[in-house]
């Protein structure tokens, strides 16, 4: 059985591109839209009341964040098949980073579930006053933000082997690999500055927020253009 019969690289590329882009609406909704609607910085009471009044929206945000990670795992497994001919070891490293980061991000959603428990006022929380419960809401929301920064380390690390694979592949434009590596540095800078220099985080993030550009162009390229099949088959035969 020849390589082409084993796998259609363009079909695989388009599946990977579709899954990569599919994460965007879930991520925007769960990580940005819902918090912007419900969370009022510096006002625990209003934030708690907003969450209680829009519990279904808050829960939808949690589910959306979980969906991002589920799709992320599926996507990296498809990318592994596509990029393995470029370098199997680097492709495996790319998968490992996602398989470490995704569970961290999913477990981090427990902090938002804790906010729901506080807002609903379960029986075992009656030892706390209403003001105390409301004061705990921002605590768990802050812990959630810290958890995102920890997961962000691995969201950055996986871009380095993937960027290298794209750059060396010969069947995907090299510039996309360069942009992915730049994006990896952006994630890492954001995560470490968040912990080491929190007072400067907002300022520095203004300069790193556009480093995800490669993560937009790559899936669009895979979905629309696919890969150079001749070059992919050549690399697949060389790595067999």
CA pair distance 132, 101, nearest whole angstrom: 33
CA pair distance 49, 38, nearest whole angstrom: 9
**Alpha-carbon dihedral sign for residues 78, 81, 82, 83:** positive
The whole-number pLDDT of residue 192 equals 87
Q: Which residues of the chain have pLDDT under 50?
A: 1-5
Mean pLDDT for the chain overall: 90
150-to-23, 71, 144 alpha-carbon distances in Å:
19, 19, 10
Strand ranges inside 143-196, DSSP E: none
CA pair distance 3, 173, nearest whole angstrom: 22
The whole-number pLDDT of residue 191 equals 87
- Could you tell me the pTM of the whole model? 0.89
**Alpha-carbon dihedral sign for residues 216, 222, 225, 227:** positive
The whole-number pLDDT of residue 205 equals 61
The whole-number pLDDT of residue 149 equals 92
The whole-number pLDDT of residue 3 equals 44
φ, ψ dihedrals at 170, nearest 5°: 85, -10
Residue range 61-92, pLDDT digits in tens? 999 999 999 999 999 999 999 999 999 999 99
The whole-number pLDDT of residue 193 equals 87
């Amino acid at each position: 059985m020849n390589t082409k019969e084993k796998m259609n690289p363009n079909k695989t590329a388009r599946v990977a591109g579709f899954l990569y882009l599919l994460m965007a609406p879930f991520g925007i909704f769960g990580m940005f839209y819902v918090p912007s609607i419900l969370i009022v910085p510096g006002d625990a009471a209003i934030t708690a009341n907003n969450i209680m009044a829009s519990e279904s929206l808050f829960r939808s945000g949690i589910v959306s964040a979980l969906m991002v990670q589920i799709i992320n795992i599926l996507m990296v497994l498809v990318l592994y098949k596509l990029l393995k001919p470029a370098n199997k070891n680097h492709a495996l490293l790319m998968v490992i980073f996602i398989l470490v980061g995704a569970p961290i991000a999913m477990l981090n959603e427990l902090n938002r579930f804790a906010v729901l428990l506080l807002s609903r006022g379960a029986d075992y929380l009656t030892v706390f006053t209403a003001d105390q419960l409301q004061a705990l809401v921002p605590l768990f929301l802050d812990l959630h933000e810290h958890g995102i920064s920890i997961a962000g380390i691995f969201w950055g690390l996986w871009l380095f082997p993937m960027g290298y694979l794209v750059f060396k592949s010969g069947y995907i434009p090299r510039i996309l690999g360069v942009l992915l590596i730049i994006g990896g540095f952006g994630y890492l800078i954001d995560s470490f500055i968040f912990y080491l220099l929190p007072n400067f985080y907002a300022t520095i993030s203004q300069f790193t927020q556009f480093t995800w550009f490669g993560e937009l162009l790559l899936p669009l390229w895979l979905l629309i253009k696919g890969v150079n099949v001749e070059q992919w088959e050549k690399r697949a035969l060389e790595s067999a």
